[in-house]
Amino acid sequence: MTDHGGLCALAAGRLLTPDGGLTHELEEAVEQPGNFLVLDRLDIQAPFDDQTVVTAVVAEVIDRLTDNYYAVVLPRTGPDAGTRLLARAATELAAEDFDDELQLIDTCLAKPEEAAARARARLVSRVQHPHLDEEDEEGWSEEDDEGVLTARTAAVLRLAGEELSALAWQEAAALGDEPLPRGAGGVFGRLPAITLRCDGQWRRQMARAFDDLAGDFQAAGETWMGPRCTGEEMALHLMIDRARSITANRPNAVRDLVVNLPQNSADYDWQGCSDDLFEDHDVLMLFDAQLDGMEAPDGDIRQAMGMVNLAADEWFEPFSADNARDPDRGFRL
């Protein structure tokens, strides 16, 4: 490494001992030290000399290089614009300062992986609807990070919930107690097959689940409580899917919806929402035809995995009595 000069030589002197071993400081900084990727400079031309592009590209390079865990070494600053973009990309990808000249990304940790997912989502969002990035991004930082449930993300999720609620109430009124055939369309046609024969009262409860979650996102400044029953888990999965479609296909509606809300680097991270807004994804296993019958209380899979409330008649039983909805809240008129 010392033969390459520059950051490689600097990294060799600070991360390795004279006999090629690892310094104590490196072993303290990295979970599984051993392999290194040194990114010492960046040569990039307009129009790609953009922080969003650079951060997403660096994330992709790190992700595709190897399946093994390793440390990525990057500069803390640089003499030219390209290297400074590289240094800031390291910070946005959750790098830790090693000393006054080096940053390290430990690919063994979850935090850089989560930051990389946000970087990719942010780039995709800009490609799909560039007007959403008209505001200044210089103020974005990890310290200001709200997690995946940012103000703008919550607003789009609320809109998705309101739209699904309106459709669900219309369908519930039209269907009554009539069963649905497999392959049916609409909101209720998208649910697992075990719900196709549920009655009108069950469908009203499912429609209300969209109302309840939309109300939660209306109050997004409060602590997110998460879905409170299996029905709300399924409703939230459908809401995230619809929110993804809204941001991709209805940019003008999104712009008008969020115009007065602060922008954040994690806005519209729908994969992050799928990962972080749930305790688990057990309810999605109901779509797997190979697992038919797993929802039964005495089913082997359900008992082995400790899953609860998967049978259709259990979907609206609260996970916790301490976090239950008001049972007297009624239904939409």
Reduce the secondary structure of the chain to three states and give it as a string.
Answer: CHHHCHHHHHHHHHHECCCCCECHHHHHHCCCCCCEEECCCCCCCCCCCCHHHHHHHHHHHHHHHCCCCCEEEEECCCCCHHHHHHHHHHHHCCCEECCCCEEEEECCCHHHHHHHHHHHHHHHHHHHCHHHHCCCCCCCCHHHCCCCCCHHHHHHHHHHHHHHHHHHHHHHHHHCCCCCCCCCCHHHHCCCHHHCCCCHHHHHHHHHHHHHHHHHHHCCCCCCCCCCCHHHHHHHHHHHHHHHHHHHHCHHHHHHHHCCCCCCCCCCCHHHHHHHCCCCCHHHHHHCHHHCCCCCCCCHHHHHHCCCCCCHHHCCCCCCHHHCCCCCCCCCC
| Residue-level pLDDT, tens digit, the chain, 333 residues | 555 567 888 888 888 888 878 888 888 887 776 678 888 888 888 888 889 899 998 988 888 776 667 888 999 988 888 889 999 999 999 999 988 889 999 888 878 888 888 788 778 766 655 555 544 444 444 444 557 889 999 999 999 999 999 999 999 999 999 999 988 999 999 999 999 999 999 999 999 999 999 999 987 655 778 899 999 999 999 999 999 999 989 999 999 999 999 988 788 989 889 988 998 888 888 887 766 665 566 665 555 445 667 889 999 999 998 889 999 988 875
**pLDDT score, position 201:** 96
Please state whether the predicted TM-score (pTM) of the whole model is above 0.85: no
**pLDDT score, position 142:** 44
